[in-house]
Structure 1
């Protein structure tokens, strides 16, 4: 996510939605502080310093996310002040694919059109509530979430299979750098689960990412054995472990 914003907008905080912190050179010590707090590089001293800086002002972020070996030590420093967390997901396998999928794709999965926004939002909201545990419409009636989803559609990064005007499969390339496209928001209609739509649909999105010259990546909760098996069938392999600390 951070790499995609910097690649597109540079390092201006207003343009990338947050600040980049470093104690030395950016290739050794780096943290993104915005709606998410994302430690990117550094040792124990850097993580403690980033945590202290975050605690020195009013908390702006709703979560910590990133590689587990960076997020979890940083959370230990933050927890006495910011805790308790609403949820700590300590092991989320980060998976990647840099070749064509090893299973069939779904030719009916395609980029969503802007006139399909309302139908797509129904699925996107259901996915968000199921994954994050809160309704994205809270606070502003859903205007901000609608804008975000509309932006993904406009960029050609929201994918779905429609049947009779209803979304039965969806996913997004939520973040995209010149090298990597991160797939997120994978969802299958409850009445169509177990039919293979998730496997073939995600294979289609991954094939589009790889076909554009990028590595397809995603991360998944360790306890979601069904999703992990699905991604393995597509050809994704585990390359690292992410962690997420949900605060709000």
Structure 2
């Protein structure tokens, strides 16, 4: 019996433009994967980005590392990706992306990977191309890029945000690895902060930038300062700075149950443009 070649295989550097063109069909939904491609992941981490071909055409992708992120998948490619990565449970911490794609992929992997620690089924994907100041929203002028020598100021804020969001701390024992990840964000100019009284009281990171789109993540305001109307001008400042420095289209996704955050993002002009889901493993 002849063995047929799998429709799924790692994306090569020669397929970079094809992969980016596929992501560009829905940039806001696919900016995470597009950013990894642009950053050179295909060159340095062969096998992390998988592609599915139909009749010789690249029709879907799946980023499979600590995060599993599907792009433009359908029934056929979802089943093929699930078969390829089902033995990788130990290396994956989450599945995230457009709700329909994540739901289908999790249905294929759940019998092998179950149970999930949590499933965030409905996470509004929001975005804007309008500077908040153009809408009359006040901008907090204290917001600025974090400096490389401020990583130890940023770390407590980042760790608190991560723990509250994910449900467990970002490190146990040594903080070296987590600190290095924060340092990398800061050095790339992807962390915005307000520092007052020798501490970070507000921060937001840019997790992905590609194809004219930037995705905000890790938004945090010190608990003792919440409820004072500080979040709106701080986020407005982040959006303005990102538009000026990184990309004209600013997006993020947020848990549907986080009413305060959703209200803040709507106030600065963001609108719902899709729905994400995240499966925490």
TM-score range, shorter chain: over 0.9
Per the alignment, residue 60 of structure 2 pairs with 29
TM-score (norm 1): 0.93
Q: Which protein is bigger by CA-based radius of gyration?
A: 2
Is 1:20 matched with 2:50?
yes
Cα distance in 1 for residues equivalent to 2:186 and 2:33 = 20
Q: Look up the match of 1:68.
A: 99
Q: Which moved more, 1:48-57 or 1:166-175?
A: 48-57
**Structure 1 residues 188-203: aligned runs within 5 Å:** 188-203=221-236
What's the CA shift for 1:119?
A: 1.0
2:205 pairs, out of 172, 191, 196, with 172
| Distance (whole Å) between structure 2 residues aligned to residue 57 and residue 7 of structure 1 | 24
- 1:223 maps to 257
Are the aligned partners of 1:33 and 1:61 in contact in 2 as well (CA < 8 Å)? yes
Q: CA deviation at 1:10?
A: 5.7
Give the distance between the partners of 2:93 and 2:121, measured in 1 at CA.
16
- Structure 1 stretches lacking a partner, 5+ long: none
Asked if the contact 2:204/2:216 (under 8 Å) is kept, the reply is: yes
| Structure 2: distance between partners of 1:237 and 1:136 | 30
CA distance in 2, matches of 1:68, 1:75: 10
Which whole-Å CA distance do the structure 2 matches of 1:223 and 1:120 have between them? 26
What CA distance in whole angstroms lies between the structure 2 residues aligned with 1:143 and 1:169? 22
Residue-by-residue CA offset, 1:129-174 (whole Å, 9 max, x unaligned)? 0011111112x62222111100011011101111111111110111
- Shifted more, 56-65 versus 98-107: the winner is 56-65
Superposition map of 1:203-222 within 5 A: 203-212=236-245, 213-222=247-256
Unaligned runs of 5+ in 2: 1-31
| TM-score normalized with structure 2 length | 0.83
Q: Find the counterpart in structure 2 of residue 49 from structure 1.
A: 80
> How far does residue 18 in structure 1 lie from its aligned partner after superposition?
2.1
SS at match of 1:175: strand
Q: Map of 1:97-112 to 2, 5 A cutoff?
A: 97-101=128-132, 102=135, 103-112=137-146
Moved more, 123-132 or 207-216: 207-216
**How many residue pairs are counted as aligned between the two chains?**
244
Q: Secondary structure at the match of 1:162?
A: strand
